[in-house]
Structure formats: C-alpha cells, structure tokens
C-alpha cells in the first residue's frame, strides 16, 4: 500500500481530515526547505506537496509565482527539489510527498529517468498542472511501474465526462480546485464546492482534497467539512515574501498549528 493510501486510511479511521501543505522547493534558498518540512509535519501537516520551481507557472497567482522566482534565483532546479525529498526521507519515512509542477522540466529530463529518480528519492506521487488526463497515459504507465500515484485537478468548470475520465486515471487523491482562477484567489463558495465534491465522490472512493483560497482556520474548517483534505499553499508561501527566512518559518509553523486545530474541531 502506498504512503498516500496508508495516510488517508489512517485519517479516515480516526475520522480526521488531512492537512496538505504546499511548499516551494528552494524558497527563499535551498537550506530552508527540508528543515521547514520537518517542522511543518511536527506541527500537524499530513501530506507534503512540494512545488517544483518553474519560470512560467501559469496556474499560480503572484504569491507562488514569486516563490518560484526566488527559488530559481537561489539556484534550485528540478533535480535539486528531488534531492530535497531524498534528504527529507533520511528522517521521515512516513509522511507522503507529492511533487507539484509543470510538464516541461519533466519532459526535458524524460519520464523514465525522472520517475525512476523521484522514486529513489522517496516521492509518492506527482501532479503536473498542465498535463490533462487525456494526454497523461505515457507518464501514467511509467508511474505505475514504480507504484507512484498520479494526481489530477478537477475544477468548478469540469464536465461530467472530465470527472469520469479523471476518476478512472487518478490515484492517491483528487485535487478539487474550489475557485475559478489562479492559486491564492480569495472568494470561497462552500455550498458550491460541497455539491461538486459530492458529485466527484459519487464516482470514486479516492479521497478528494480541496485547495485554492484556503488561508485561515474558518476556511479550512468549512472546506474540511465537505472534503477529505484541505490543501493550503499561498497562506504558507507568502510568509517568505516579506519576512526574514527564520521568522517566515516561525509564522508558517504557527499557521500550520492554526489550521490543524481548526480541522481537528471537526472530529
């Protein structure tokens, strides 16, 4: 059983919701990332989503786009991000790690080489924002070879056909984008998200996580009430835009504790 399946199974048995945290690898410099991941897990993160720095992050709002710029400026590339997972695994063999990024760097490296090394480093799954399920079979074949999960996005605009297509191919969990727009957008409609998530869950037993726009205890608790996981990115990443790295880590860990406490109120 994969680390993702194990973790979601454990949480389900405890009637708890997963907190999935997005961190940009190498932001603001490479030495910050691995210690930050350990501290976030200790504070209550269940699944790590590690961003791969990319120069054209089309699905991301300004907060994460600037994080990618900082990471690239600090010298972090895709292989460096994989090596961060390898270092993380020296102390943590249990927390699932999913890579989130864009197709181009993976294609440049090559599917087989990329997935083989990601597996060696301890990666559990991959989500490529700009790889639609209709074009993902070649990567999926390689991922299955290494027993790694491929995670897909669904959105408020996803058709019934797209939902059926995704639930056939997805594993690990499904990432439901709660808003029309880029990461970091602000207006949540919980009732609409609940209806869409219910529709997805009617088609599959795969856990559904909801992201985009979750930034505080109230929004985490609201979305945690309708999904299996809440996925938080910009609320963590933005700390590094305005604070010294040491203080940004403290604020990020405090934010994890706030969100974890809110989700645990649902038990």
Distance CA 67, CA 64 (A): 5
Q: Which of these is catalytic: 27, 46, 49, 149? A: 49
CA distances 72 to 25, 53, 54, Å, are 9, 6, 8
> Roughly how many angstroms between the first and final C-alpha of the chain, as a whole number?
25
Catalytic residue among 27, 42, 56, 60: 60
DSSP for 127-179, please give it.
Answer: EETT--GGG-HHHHHHHHHTT-EE--EE-TT--HHHHHHHHHH--S-EEEE-S
Rounded distance, CA 5 to CA 173, Å?
A: 9
Whether 258 is a known active-site residue: answer no
Q: Is residue 60 annotated as part of the catalytic site, yes or no?
A: yes
Nearest to residue 218, comparing CAs of 198, 190, 199?
190
How many helices (H) and strands (E) the chain has is answered by: 13, 9
Coarse DSSP helix, strand, coil percentages of the chain, rounded to the nearest 5 percent: 50, 15, 35
The structure tokens listed for 99 are 């890579």
How open is the CA angle 89-93-99, to the nearest 5 degrees?
60
Query: Which residues are part of the catalytic machinery?
Result: 49, 60
């Amino acid at each position: 059983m994969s680390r993702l399946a194990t973790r979601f199974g454990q949480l389900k048995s405890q009637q708890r919701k997963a907190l999935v945290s997005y961190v940009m690898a190498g932001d603001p410099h490479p030495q910050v990332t691995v210690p930050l991941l350990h501290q976030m897990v200790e504070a209550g993160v269940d699944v790590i989503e590690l961003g791969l720095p990319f120069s054209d992050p089309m699905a991301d709002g300004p907060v994460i786009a600037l994080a990618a710029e900082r990471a690239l400026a600090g010298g972090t590339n895709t292989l460096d991000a994989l090596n961060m997972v390898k270092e993380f695994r020296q102390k943590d063999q249990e927390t699932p790690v999913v890579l989130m990024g864009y197709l181009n760097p993976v294609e440049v490296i090559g599917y087989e080489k990329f997935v083989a090394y990601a597996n060696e480093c301890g990666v559990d799954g991959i989500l490529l924002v700009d790889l639609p399920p209709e074009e993902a079979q070649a990567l999926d074949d390689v991922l299955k070879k290494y027993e790694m999960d491929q995670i897909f996005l669904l959105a408020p605009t996803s058709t019934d056909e797209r939902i059926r297509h995704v639930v056939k191919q997805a594993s690990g969990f499904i990432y439901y984008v709660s808003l029309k727009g880029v990461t970091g957008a602000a207006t949540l409609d919980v009732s609409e998200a609940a209806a869409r998530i219910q529709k997805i869950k009617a088609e599959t037993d795969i856990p559904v996580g909801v992201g985009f726009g979750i930034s505080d205890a109230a929004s985490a608790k609201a979305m945690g009430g309708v999904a299996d996981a809440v996925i938080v990115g910009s609320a963590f990443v933005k700390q590094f835009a305005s604070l010294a790295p040491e203080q940004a880590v403290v604020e990020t860990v405090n934010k994890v504790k706030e969100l974890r406490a809110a989700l645990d109120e649902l038990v």
